[in-house]
Copies of this chain bind each other. A is one copy, B any other.
Amino acid sequence: MPKMGKADRTRVMILNSALEFLWDHRFRDLTVASLMAPTNAGRSAFYRYFGDLHELMRTLLDMLRDEILDSTSIWFADSGDPVLLVDEAIGRLVDIGYRRGPFLRAIVDAAVTDSRIEGDWQQFLKVFDDATCSRIEADQAQGLILQFDAPPVAYSLTRVNAHTLIDAFGQKPRKHKARVQQALARVWISTLYGNEWVAERASTLDRKPTEPPES
């Protein structure tokens, strides 16, 4: 455990309090007072660490970004069977969406009320837009994907991911993970590579154990 000064400990307490709060409350119900209540410190101590609630949310997004990019690094792979790659990447994405759903939702909620977070979030999505676009164009060059205007399709596909995950897992009771995963995989694979690939892959997916939705 790295040695922490008091400032670091307080900062961590605040971040933990935020995570705890947001796990079962919406961002709109978060106030500085409610955030600092479980802490030893008083309300105004908050402002020593963050300019405002939105700045705290940006910090949370920074943390989540690393976690997401790490766990979906396969998304940016440039070799291997493209269909399996998409399937695996969606699986990873659904996993993390399931685990972090409420925080993802909180960040997107916060983005609506603050243009800086909005910018951060769009920039984050753009990483996936760009990666998807590159993949499409590379596979078009190889004849694996039909010729079409790649950017808007990539854009729509990343948005279906983001908002399906947030709507499905962003608040409890979360929806069934496997069903969401299959739906997203179907949309992506049939849009990019064609329905026949989904059909071929379907039996594999259906064999996966079906977990019941959690609280």
Contact = CB atoms under 8 A, between A and B. Distances in A.
A43 B162 CA distance: 39
Oligomeric state, in copies: 2
Which range holds the interface residue count of chain A? 35 or more
A31 B113 CA distance: 13
A66 interface: no
A163 B159 contact: yes
A195 B199 CA distance: 13
Given A112-B112, A113-B112, A195-B195, A160 B187 contact: yes
A82 interface: no
Interface in A149-200: 149, 151-153, 155-157, 159-160, 162-164, 167-168, 175, 179-180, 182-184, 186-187, 190-191, 194-195, 198-199
Contacts of A157: 160, 187
16 contacts: A27-B112, A112-B113, A113-B113, A148-B182, A148-B198, A148-B202, A149-B179, A149-B182, A152-B175, A152-B183, A153-B183, A155-B167, A155-B168, A156-B187, A159-B167, A194-B194
A69 interface: no
A48 interface: no
A108 B167 CA distance: 13
Interface of A: 27-28, 108-109, 112-114, 146, 148-149, 151-153, 155-157, 159-160, 162-164, 167-168, 175, 179-180, 182-184, 186-187, 190-191, 194-195, 198-199, 202
A160 to B, nearest CB: 4
A160 B152 CA distance: 12
Nearest to A179: B152
A93 B186 CA distance: 23
A146 B198 contact: yes
Contact of A191 (B27, B162, B187, B199): B187
Contacts of A152: 175, 179-180, 182-183
A211 B157 CA distance: 24
A148 B199 CA distance: 9
